[in-house]
Amino acid sequence: MQLIQRNAPHIRHSDNPKTLMGDMILTLLPLYVLAICFYGFRVLITMTVSVLSCWLCDMLCSLLRRRFFNFRDLSSIVTGLIIPLVMPATVPYYVVLFAGMFAICAVKHPFGGTGENLFNPAAGGIAFAAVCWPAKVFAYPVPFTTIPLWDTSSVLTVTSTAHTLKMGGLPSADLNDMVLGLVAGPVGAVSILVLLACLVYLSIRRTIPLVQPVCFLAAAALMAFAFPRADISRAYSVLYELMSGSLMFGAVFMLNDPVTSPKRTAARAIYGFAAGIVTMLFRYFGAFDHGFAFALLIMNALAEEFDYFMVVGAPKLFGSGRKGDAA
């Protein structure tokens, strides 16, 4: 009998990082299926380029840093899957390639790789692409136009609802179409119904904490209700703001990145709320149509402070905060 000395506990929950990231991948894939229906197989190539770019860069950076590369670590694949979904279907391959490279080599690994990164790599990559190639990233083809694989210059592109709102114009998109994703916009971020289903699935699986996206959306809705940009009723303003751009997609897939969000429930609620307000401020005063990636990067930098406040600051301000531990 060969016994091994192990630490307690002697039973473990069956979840591991692979199942968590697997859940994310599982929910990202339906968005790709929809995108292929809308725009043809070019989306599949964009996805492959992005995923390979992220995964290979992750491996390369691990090698350069002389760290063990864990093949079970799927987080770079999730990053690679997220990036093309907030881009238009006509996006040139080199844009997603460089966005992926930037996400891994500049945002993830300099801070210590998986689990240590301060900023969400996907948000970093998207922000990089938006700053470098705004003309390529914010012009969208209409759904059900088949995009040629290589030369996309002939494809007719339009601006999204987010851009109309930005310019102070009246959004013309039908709300039903927006729920179903039948409007011009980022590849994966338009199908609001599917995104909400993803949110429900991920929160039931406890892969993401529900409180964070809910507070985020509540804050964004509150801002849209209080300060409508176009000359529309407040209720319509809320609906258009929430369903346009990458706001809903970001709330489900990028905001809840476990590495870069706070850990305490109360801190998560405040963080989500603050992120919602900052996102809307970026929309109102920023240079681009949708500022979610930029807002998220700013919030990421502060995430640890929210936890620090709940652990150290709040007990000082509001008393010890612990009740009923008399024994």
Contact residues toward other proteins (CB under 8 A) are: 1-13, 15-17, 19-20, 68, 70, 72-73, 75, 113-116, 206, 209, 258-265, 268, 307, 311-312, 322-327
Query: Shortest distance, CB of residue 75 to other proteins, whole angstroms?
Result: 7
Closest approach of other proteins to the CB of residue 326, in Å: 5
Segment (H or E) for 45: helix 42-64
Q: How far is the CB of 311 from other proteins (least distance, A)?
A: 6
Q: Least distance in Å: CB of 83 to other proteins?
A: 19
Closer to other proteins by Cβ: residue 104 or 194 = 104
- Residue 48 or residue 264: which is nearer to other proteins going by CB? 264
Kindly state the smallest distance separating residue 10's Cβ from other proteins, in Å: 5
Nearer to other proteins, 15 or 177 (CB): 15
Cβ proximity to other proteins: between 282 and 309 the closer is: 309
Least separation in angstroms between CB 251 and other proteins = 18
Q: Is the peptide bond between 92 and the residue preceding it cis, with omega within 30 degrees of 0?
A: no
Q: CA-to-CA distance for 64 and 61, rounded, in angstroms? A: 5
Residue closer to other proteins by CB (options 64, 170) is 64
Q: If you search the block for the tokens 């402070």, which residue do you land on?
A: 305
Q: Tokens 């590495």: give the residue.
A: 259
When the beta carbons of 8 and 135 are compared against other proteins, the nearer one is 8
| Closer residue to other proteins (CB): 287 or 312 | 312
Looking at beta carbons only, is 88 or 121 nearer to other proteins? 121
- Two tokens at 265? 């429930």
Compute CA distances 100 → 68, 107, 134, whole Å: 21, 10, 16
Least distance in Å: CB of 50 to other proteins?
21
Q: Please, which residue, 12 or 66, has the CB nearer to other proteins?
A: 12
Sign of CA dihedral 245, 249, 255, 260: negative
Q: How far apart are CA 181 and CA 82, in angstroms?
A: 17
Q: How far apart are CA 11 and CA 44, in angstroms?
A: 41
Q: How far is the CB of 5 from other proteins (least distance, A)?
A: 5
Among 222, 325, 232, smallest CA distance to 277 is for: 222
Tell me how many degrees the CA angle 214-215-218 measures, rounded to the nearest 5.
Answer: 85
Helices (H), 205-291: 211-226, 234-243, 247-249, 265-285
In whole angstroms, the minimum distance from the beta carbon of 112 to other proteins comes to 9
| CA 172 – CA 223 distance, rounded (Å) | 21
C-beta of residue 261 within 8 angstroms of C-beta of residue 271: yes
Contact indicator for 248, 86 with CB cutoff of 8 Å: no
Q: Using CA atoms, how far apart are residues 127 and 292, in angstroms rounded to an integer?
A: 9
